[in-house]
Amino acid sequence: MTKQRKKADERKRSPSTRRTTRPGRPVFKRVCVLTGGGDAPGLNAVLRAFVKTCEPLGIEVWGSEDGFEGLIQPGRLVQLSRASVRGILPKGGSILGCSNRANPFAYPVVDKRGHETAVDVSDDVIGRVKKHQFDALVLVGGDGTMRHAAAFTQRGLAVIGVPKTIDNDLVGTDYSFGYDTALGTATWAIDALHSTAEAHDRIMIVEVMGRYAGWIALGSGVAGGADVILMPEIPYDLERVVAKLRARSEHGSTFSIVVVGEGALPKGGARSTVARARKGQLERLGGAGEFLAEQLKKRIPHDIRVTVLGHLQRGGSPTAFDRLLGTRLGVRAARCCEHGDTGVMVALHGQDIVTVPLAETMRSPKRVDPNGELAEAARNIGIELGG
């Protein structure tokens, strides 16, 4: 780590959240870790590294099953050891399980009439942390989990965050583990669809994940040789897309590949959703590919098919990059427990693993710059971005 990076790292740490310890004696002796939100390749790498680093330090590690569920419902806490994490490095998912419904500040509860309501059970979580004498919580997750981490920090709990999201939209870290694997999966799918698109003279629309950020769409589209890439950051002009596809046909190309981020939307239009947002739950995106296909069918006499990759992008064995990143983040989180550094998220800055204040992760999500280098590179090689 460079001297400049070390100084920057120290400036980012709040003195009120840093404790000192004598050599060989960790500040925190008993901690709880959970994997919140959706699953992502690399979660097990984090857990493995965290446990293997904590155990020799004399730090007892417990895990909360299915995200915060283990800290809300009784009987859902398990002790983790080297034996618990043996052999999990190449596995996808999480040995603790994940949940994007177990929101402690808006927990879904069904009343006697069968109606579901959202209830704040954060006091129960705090009570369970104190009951089990956990010195700190290590929360592995995306923007939602980091918001919970910041909120619990404000309420007096010692919290350490670890960034996880395939969308790569979390502020405070250059990359989140899970993104590289999802990007590779999406690129593989585009490669596979090239051959069938060419064989049948089709326009193939590939809908990828990413929510309101276009990192997966732009990255996989460029890497997979797409002809059109549509992403949330650039509301698209349908006529530009039509013009691109017609031009390819006129120049002898009998097929085209169109990559669409699930959060993409037309100029003056709305995003495609399958469920509205409600208390404690974000809206569910879906249908952007089908919507585009219906619009194109009205304008282009071409066979058009849609492939929605969906949760394929979340699954599978993590890439070497995600295993390495997850391992490094897990080790740093354990060291934070050793030294009592809380109210922080471990992060990748350049080549270094550092800590940043949890408050910094509350800024606007990290989005693709429509005029940035990668977007310009796509345009320079002839890819239509819709705007």
Which residues are CB-contacts of 244 (< 8 A; sequence separation ≥ 6)? Answer: 227, 228, 256, 384
pLDDT of residue 3: 44
Percent of the chain topping pLDDT 70: 93
Asked if 228 contacts 244 with a C-beta cutoff of 8 angstroms, the reply is: yes
Cα distances (angstroms) measured from residue 357 to each of 26, 125, 131, 353: 21, 22, 27, 14
281 strand-pairing partners: 278
Which residues are CB-contacts of 80 (< 8 A; sequence separation ≥ 6)? Answer: 33, 47, 51, 61, 62, 63
Q: What is the pTM of this model?
A: 0.90
pLDDT of residue 26: 86
How confident is the model over 317-344, as a mean pLDDT?
A: 97
Cα distances (angstroms) measured from residue 116 to each of 67, 138, 243: 20, 29, 47
Same fold, 3-178+318-362 and 182-315: yes
167 annotated active-site: yes
The domain made up of 3-178+318-362 has a fold known as Rossmann fold (3.40.50)
pLDDT of residue 275: 80
Q: What is the CATH number of domain 182-315?
A: 3.40.50.460
Distance, CA of 2 to CA of 352 (rounded, Å):
9
Domain boundaries, the chain: 3-178+318-362, 182-315
How confident is the model over 293-319, as a mean pLDDT?
A: 93
pLDDT of residue 54: 98
Catalytic hit among 39, 167, 169, 341: 167
What count of Cα atoms within 13 Å lies in the side-chain half-sphere of residue 200?
Answer: 12
How confident is the model over 342-369, as a mean pLDDT?
A: 94
- pLDDT band per the 50, 70, 90 thresholds, residue 280: low
Asked if 305 contacts 205 with a C-beta cutoff of 8 angstroms, the reply is: yes
Better-scored residue on pLDDT, 127 or 22: 127
How confident is the model over 100-118, as a mean pLDDT?
A: 89
SS3 of the chain: helix, strand, coil, percent, to 5 = 35, 20, 40
Flag whether pLDDT at 282 surpasses 90.
Answer: no
How confident is the model over 295-302, as a mean pLDDT?
A: 92
For the chain, how big is the Rg over CA atoms in Å? 23
How confident is the model over 3-11, as a mean pLDDT?
A: 44
